Amino acid sequence: MKTKSIGIIDSGLGGYSFYHTLTREFPEVSFVLIADQANAPFGDKSKEELSEIANKLIDRFHKMGISLILIACNTLSASILKEMRDEFPEVELISIIDLTISQIKDSAKRILVIATTATINQKAYSKALSKSHKNAWINEVATPKLVDLIEGLANDSDIDEVLEEYLSDKSKVDTIVLGCTHYPLIKKNIEKITNANQVDALEGSIEYFNKISELPLGTSKVFTTLDAKRFAHQIKTLFNDDVAVEEIVL
């Protein structure tokens, strides 16, 4: 498949965590992130709203000559992946959920999935895990307050307080699935509450692209649909990256 770059879609900083990881792992490859912060968070939106958002994002990438896109958003992957693939059959859309599940150990017996309300409502993880980990205890918990805290650069004490609320009775789990791409940014906060193995899709994404023989080379770019200066500040604060951010209107 010929593509000018590899696209990355998310509502904000979760997508940048993939951009940050992948551009360091594949420095000569061209990645383009569109962070749709104007519509963040995605987790509280209806399927109709999500479809409208996704169609605009994928259409913009398609017009840029990008036909390989990482859906770095569990909400979109859980809610409307089939609809997106039907709408854009000429574009390869990579599901973040598949990449995450690929990282769960076979020995996992008590698995907790934390994600946005929309992702949990679709039961995408429990359905997939019931096949890959048939004998495991699986629980899914909606954690709707976390994305806004992360995007707002909340201090650790505020994040810790909310995590205590969500995880207070989950001490016996051996695996926590970070079912939102924002959540790897608070791994250290989660470690204060539980020593369970934390699983996300970052390593899975590296493995996925390592299997592709011919990746598109060139410059990587970051776009936001909201405020370029604000996004650049968020990136600098959380990743210590000085990155040029451009505003884009979908």
| pLDDT tens per residue, range 119-167 | 999 999 999 999 999 999 999 999 999 999 999 999 999 999 999 999 9
Domain ranges of the chain: 6-97+203-247, 99-200
In our burial notation (b when 16+ CB lie closer than 10 A, e otherwise), range 82-105 reads eebeeebeebebbbbbebbbebbe
Tell me the sheet residues that pair with 221.
Answer: 32
> Which pLDDT value is given to residue 74?
93
Asked whether 248 and 223 are in contact (CB, 8 A), the reply is: yes
**Which residue intervals of the chain are DSSP H helices?**
13-25, 47-63, 74-87, 96-101, 117-122, 124-132, 146-151, 156-167, 187-191, 202-210, 228-239
> Which pLDDT value is given to residue 170?
72
Tell me whether residue 180 is one of the annotated catalytic residues.
yes
CA dist 157 and 153 (Å) reads 12
Indicate whether 168 pLDDT > 90: no
Catalytic residue among 50, 118, 180, 202: 180
Is the four-CA dihedral 157, 200, 101, 81 of positive or negative sign? Answer: positive
Tell me whether residue 178 is one of the annotated catalytic residues.
no
What predicted TM-score, i.e. pTM, was given to this entire model?
A: 0.92
Asked whether 193 and 4 are in contact (CB, 8 A), the reply is: no
As a whole number, mean pLDDT of residues 206-234 equals 97
pLDDT tier, 1 (very low <50, low <70, confident <90, very high otherwise): low
Q: In the CATH hierarchy, which fold is given to the domain comprising 6-97+203-247?
A: Rossmann fold (3.40.50)
pLDDT tier, 20 (very low <50, low <70, confident <90, very high otherwise): very high
Fold: same for 6-97+203-247 and 99-200: yes
Catalytic residue among 32, 35, 69, 73: 73
Pick the CATH number of 99-200 from 3.30.420.40, 3.40.50.1860, 3.40.50.1980, 2.40.170.20: 3.40.50.1860
Indicate whether 44 pLDDT > 90: no
pLDDT over 90, % of the chain: 94
> Which pLDDT value is given to residue 30?
98
3-class state of residue 147 by DSSP:
helix
